[in-house]
Amino acid sequence: MIPVAIAIGFTAILVTMASPAFAQSTDEGLEIYEQSCARCHQSDGLGTPGVYPPLAGNPAAGDFDHVVIVVTDGLEGVEIMGVSYDAAMPSFSNRLSAEEIDLVAEYVVELSGGGGGSTSPTTTLPQAAGSGSAGESLFTGATRLSAGGTACIACHAAGEYDQLGGPGMAIDLNGIVQSFGQAGFVAAITDPLVPPMIAVFGDHPITDAEANNLAAYLETTSADGSGDISVDLLVMVGLVGFVILMLITSGFLRGPQDSYQSKLKEKLRNSR
């Protein structure tokens, strides 16, 4: 009986020693999750329908090794429980250390329900309300972005505003917040994945406050452009230039032709 009692006591000591360490690990994982993951997957782990998959209740998220691989390598185009999710998840190998990836993976496993804990985090990441008027000023460039990035209107169209960079420069932003949600839109422009966005904003990041203001403005635009008809400035300049060129060319060609006809008529008169 004595050896058994000693073994039980020793086990109890190990559990007591390990519990604070596990709690600390969970807290650190939660902090990393809120900083790097919650914008897309949401603070409650429910994700964004059709865009960012849920982690809470997701069987795949309960596999620690799988989560580590996804966080390290990224993932694109997945189907979770019969629902497809289109957004691409970037690799975090250059943003998080191996230890941080392990910590956030442990928290994701717990969030999924695979760790036996609660499927809701103990704290939430608040969604800040933006100002539509401030966002419109940022979009048009009337207010400069704090880090010196290019105004959205240089490449994008939205509402009554057309892009100034010519046709096909970038996607139309009408209705984009309704399609991807505020959190998805904010994540896409504060931590861009598209190479042109990275080139423009990599060294000139958009702040969360600016992103929320832009989202508030774009929430007022619809996918049909609110019925506005916009004419691209470069297209108009090109058409006007083409007409002028045709007139000039016609004048150059008509000059020698008129001169030749005059000389021919004069020669015919003299021959008579």
Same domain, 76 and 162: no
The identity of residue 172, as a single letter, is D
Q: In the predicted model, what is the mean pLDDT of residues 191-202?
A: 82
> pTM for the complete prediction?
0.46
Instruction: Please tell me the predicted confidence (pLDDT) of residue 217.
Output: 92
Same domain, 26 and 57: yes
CATH number at residue 45: 1.10.760.10
CATH number at residue 219: 1.10.760
Residue 179's domain comprises 132-227
Does residue 125 fall inside a structural domain? no
Distances (CA, A) of 256 to 244, 245, 249, 260, 267: 20, 18, 12, 6, 17
Q: What is the chain's mean pLDDT, rounded?
A: 75
Nearest to 68 by CA among 37, 104, 42, 33: 104
* pLDDT tens-digit series, residues 206-218: 988 898 889 999 9
Same domain, 77 and 170: no
Half-sphere exposure of 55 (CA within 13 A, CB side): 30
The residue among 253 and 21 whose pLDDT is bigger is 253
Same domain, 164 and 78: no
Does residue 246 fall inside a structural domain? no
| The total number of structural domains that make up the chain | 2
Same domain, 58 and 9: yes
Same domain, 22 and 84: yes
Q: In the predicted model, what is the mean pLDDT of residues 229-254?
A: 67
* pLDDT tens-digit series, residues 161-186: 876 655 557 788 888 888 777 777 88
